[in-house]
Chains A and B, each alone.
Chain A
């Protein structure tokens, strides 16, 4: 149980920089999730923390110890791998005992810890089995068990649920969250699955090309993405992002694109004054775009635009519509009872209170209504 501090961590493979001056802190007992698209450096970062790769620069400390140059075994960490990495020639008990016996624990202590971990994970009846005789979910539990018997300062998880089928993944997700509460320890968890990140993390570190994009609580990343990358990465279906221009019209501020012109909510008009005639990126999440039927509209008609439906996907609880908006496509949601088919032109309600604006210039930073202090 300790705090993990990563400062300016850098890893170069030849001319490629896999991790670039990454800094973050996992507080004691935090469940920190590293997420990003494949090749973003999240697994490399985890390997660096574990000591499986040597950092090119920067430092790592666990608790109050500098561990940057220590051998993995001396870092007081345990790691769970995507393919579980159980030792195929050892039974479950020996798998869990191996790390402890390498560290010279007594037989009795090893036995006690394994019983305890097996109890927590519900694998007491599997201790004499070889890994190949276990199901995917059981292997997963053993891999976790092998980590918890060690009682390390920090747990590292490298996409531990990716090899499980969808149903089991949901179940294990809940179990891992519970386990975290029970063990009360620091976890660094790598995944590419944003649902895992959103559901389990206390905080998320979002990486792209080895560079940290945003660190924050899950809801923070969702509601206040700092750039278009975060906006597009977190949330399914992803946020709609279209190039737009800010125009002043009759004292109102308008967002204009090739497909629509809509007013910015009155409370933000003042703040966005500075953007007049600027090119920006307009962002709005699908759940804030609602497809409706003519005559159904009971909202401020000013935030309604008629758009052509390109594709209708029935998902049961709702309908997902792909709309044509000039050269762009927008995703909107609608009630499943809405009679709509491809080619129709329907009124679409924009919930402008939930809109986002980003700079057009890379890295397309968020533009807040209140300028950053």
Chain B
């Protein structure tokens, strides 16, 4: 009995203590960002105050107000939404078609193309931004949101195709045969049988594609320069830091608002998210 108790106490310390350390490491920066965004500048830049806390008198929504009144934050937010949603939608249509074709139709070259998809999935997206500037210039898309809508699929399509392929492989082939006998052609099989069954995989791929697009900094930095056309990431980074002048409160507020859509999706679909994370490695 004492041994048990002893064991459980040791267990608590041995497991929960390090686990809480990890949690603290994970959450502290987010906590600190939040705190910064709701503190008055006076409290923020007072070295004598404890930066881990905030007194009630030092609370303010001023930083958030500033974002929406003195900057084009609302436009950036809108731009990011437009770009991320459109490129994700385009990528999903392309990926669903490709994943279905590659997993379910035995045509010559399917295996090779599957491997090609996988290789492009591994190509780091920072490898190709320079030649892509040329493509964008030729298409006459520079400084337009279309530049991003067109180029984001370069890293969205390989990823979501690969993810969906892993998912579609788990749908038994007999269901499809059955649908064929029931009178469906390939496109009907896809829309009436496979897509409804692949909903978890599609949700997961959409989630990831959206986060990837939303998180992009490099492409939108390179392809877009007018302030009002900027996406959120670039807008916050380039317009709220002017030389040496940092608007830390607004900066953190902007960064948090910029994280909200993704985090909301994440909270709604955490299990899909986890399955999508591991699919690349395990499948």
Give A contacts to B, CB under 8 Å. Answer: 47, 50-52, 71-73, 77-79, 81-89, 98-99, 102-103, 146
Contacts and interface: CB of A to CB of B under 8 A. Distances in A.
B29 interface: no
A87 B193 contact: yes
Contact of A87 (B175, B180, B181): B175
What DSSP secondary structure best describes chain B's contact surface? helix
B197 A102 contact: no
A143 to B, nearest CB: 9
Contacts of B181: 50-52, 72-73, 77-79, 99
B182 A99 contact: yes
Given A99-B182, A102-B182, A79 B177 contact: yes
B43 interface: no
Contact of A85 (B178, B183, B184, B188): B178
Contact of B184 (A52, A86, A88, A102): A102
A51 to B, nearest CB: 8
Interface in B128-178: 172, 174-175, 177-178
B180 A73 contact: yes
A231 B168 CA distance: 43
A50 B179 CA distance: 12
A52 B197 contact: no
> Looking at A51, A78, A88, A146, which has the most chain B CB atoms within 10 Å of its CB?
A88
Contacts, number: 55
B174 A81 contact: yes
A48 to B, nearest CB: 12
> Looking at B178, B188, B197, which has the most chain A CB atoms within 10 Å of its CB?
B178
B172 A50 contact: no
> Looking at A50, A51, A87, which has the most chain B CB atoms within 10 Å of its CB?
A87
7 contacts: A47-B177, A51-B181, A73-B183, A79-B178, A81-B177, A87-B179, A89-B196
B174 A85 contact: yes
Nearest to A156: B181
B182 A73 contact: yes
A52 B175 CA distance: 12
Nearest to B172: A83
Contact of B183 (A83, A89, A102): A102
Interface in B175-208: 175, 177-184, 188, 193, 196-197
Contacts of B177: 47, 50, 52, 72, 79, 81, 85
A102 B183 CA distance: 6
B180 A98 contact: no
> Looking at B174, B179, B188, which has the most chain A CB atoms within 10 Å of its CB?
B174
A251 to B, nearest CB: 63
A78 B180 CA distance: 10
Contacts of B180: 51-52, 71-73
A72 B181 CA distance: 5
Nearest to B171: A88
B183 A99 contact: yes
A174 B181 CA distance: 26
Contacts of A102: 182-184, 188
A268 B182 CA distance: 56
Contacts of A82: 174
A85 B172 contact: yes
Nearest to A143: B178
A79 B188 CA distance: 19
A244 B70 CA distance: 103
Instruction: Report, nearest first, the 4 A-B pairs whose CB atoms are least far apart.
Output: A102-B183, A99-B182, A85-B174, A73-B183
A98 B182 CA distance: 7
A218 to B, nearest CB: 28
Contacts of B178: 79, 81, 85, 87, 146
Nearest to A99: B182
